[in-house]
Amino acid sequence: MHSIPVIAVDAMGGDIGPSVNVPGAIKAARTFGIKVILVGNEKLINAELDRLPLKGVAYEVVHTDEVAGMDEKPSDILRRKKNASIQIACRLVKEGKADGIVSAGNSGATVACGMFIIGRIAGVERPALASVMPTEKHPIVLLDVGANVDCKPQHLFQFGLMANAFAKDLLEYDSPRIGLLSIGEEEGKGNTQVKEAYDLFKLANDINFLGNVEGRDLFTGQVDVVVCDGFVGNVALKLSEGLSTSMGRLLKRQLMSSTIAKIGTLLAKKAFKKFAKIVDYAEYGGAPVLGLKGIAIVCHGASNDKAIFNAVKMASTFVRKKTNERLVEAISANEELTSFGRAIKN
């Protein structure tokens, strides 16, 4: 670790590119007193830097011409695009020049480069992609949201251990309440791997396992961490995004349908704005890949500078609080249970 956290930012990533990545990263560097390394086309990066106040800001530019496309296969990017900005950013972590990376580029490629270039922590079977989601009361951590589609019970178990460390440090929950996503609250409900993961969680050390939770419990704030496999989690995450967008659109259509309703909407404008803020995913910046020898934050392709700012903030807090040390402790304190899970035929 460096004297201050150093976060490599994929300046080329995302639908918008340097014009959101550079200002978001620089603002975070200034606000939190960290260093950012901007990786990408230096001409484009410098054009953005020229517009920003840079006095006292710790930053560096690492040039590359190669860019990973949003629609390219992650394995192709990993194998063939050795100089893509995302690969270079991850190599900076591997070589000890940075502590973590942030990218709004091809998510699959970010996860893959995180796993294979930064590498996983010894003892972690599968790094997981976590998402910080807004709920009625406070944000929760949902994981895995897409890194591992076919999971064994011990994978789900380790996801819970890793998210526990993350929720403690990043969301500042004293004793995060862990729920296992299933189709009924009672023990014994669920599919094969969930039922077996339940047993591991029940025996685990130092975690506050509340049992199964159902889809409807996600947004009520009764748990702080929700564990599921990457298939279910990805469906749940995208469904939540899709449903809130659709509901917003439907409501807008109704409210615009008559003059009286339009006037009413105008009067209630401030309330609508506050509501939109609560359900705004940009508040949390991005999804961390947990279990790496460092940290990688995957941002939405449509991220704005606020999302990049918040993602860099998340990465630097993760580094500053040494969350990986806590994560390693939890993984090793429960090593025997994990091997037990591995030993069950599944």
> Where on the chain is the footprint of its own copies (CB under 8 A)?
135-136, 146, 149-150, 181-183, 190-192, 194, 214-220, 228-232, 234-247, 249-251, 254-255, 257-258, 260-261, 263-272, 274-275, 278-279
- Rounded to whole angstroms, how far apart are CA atoms 295 and 7? 9
- What's the closest the beta carbon of residue 3 comes to its own copies, in angstroms? 40
* One-character DSSP codes across 14-27: TTT-HHHHHHHHHH
Q: Which is nearer to its own copies, 141 or 228 (CB)?
A: 228
CB of 50 to its own copies, least distance (A): 37
Rank residues 47 and 261 by Cβ distance to its own copies and give the closer one: 261
Nearer to its own copies, 29 or 112 (CB): 112
Q: Which DSSP helix (H) or strand (E) runs through 255? A: helix 230-255
Cβ pair 229, 148 in contact under 8 A: yes
For its own copies, the closer of residues 14 and 108 by Cβ is 108
Q: What is the closest distance, in whole angstroms, from the C-beta atom of residue 136 to its own copies in the complex?
A: 5
The values of phi and psi at residue 62, to 5°, are -115, 120
| DSSP-derived secondary structure letter, 215 | G
**Toward its own copies, which CB reaches closer, 1 or 247?**
247
Minimum CB–partner distance for residue 231 and its own copies (Å) = 5
Identify the three-state secondary structure at position 4: coil
Q: In this complex, which beta carbon is closest to its own copies, that of residue 31 or of residue 220?
A: 220
Question: What minimum distance in Å lies between the beta carbon of 327 and its own copies?
Answer: 25
The tally of CA atoms less than 13 A away on the side-chain side of residue 110 is: 30
Q: Are strands 208-213 and 6-10 parallel, antiparallel or unpaired?
A: unpaired
d(CA 313, CA 319): 10
Which is nearer to its own copies, 181 or 207 (by Cβ)?
Answer: 181
Shortest Cβ 153–its own copies spacing (Å): 14
Task: Tell me the CA distances in angstroms from 110 to 86, 182, 264, one per residue in order.
Answer: 7, 29, 45
Positive/negative CA dihedral, 215, 217, 219, 222: negative
Shortest spacing between CB 233 and its own copies, in angstroms: 9
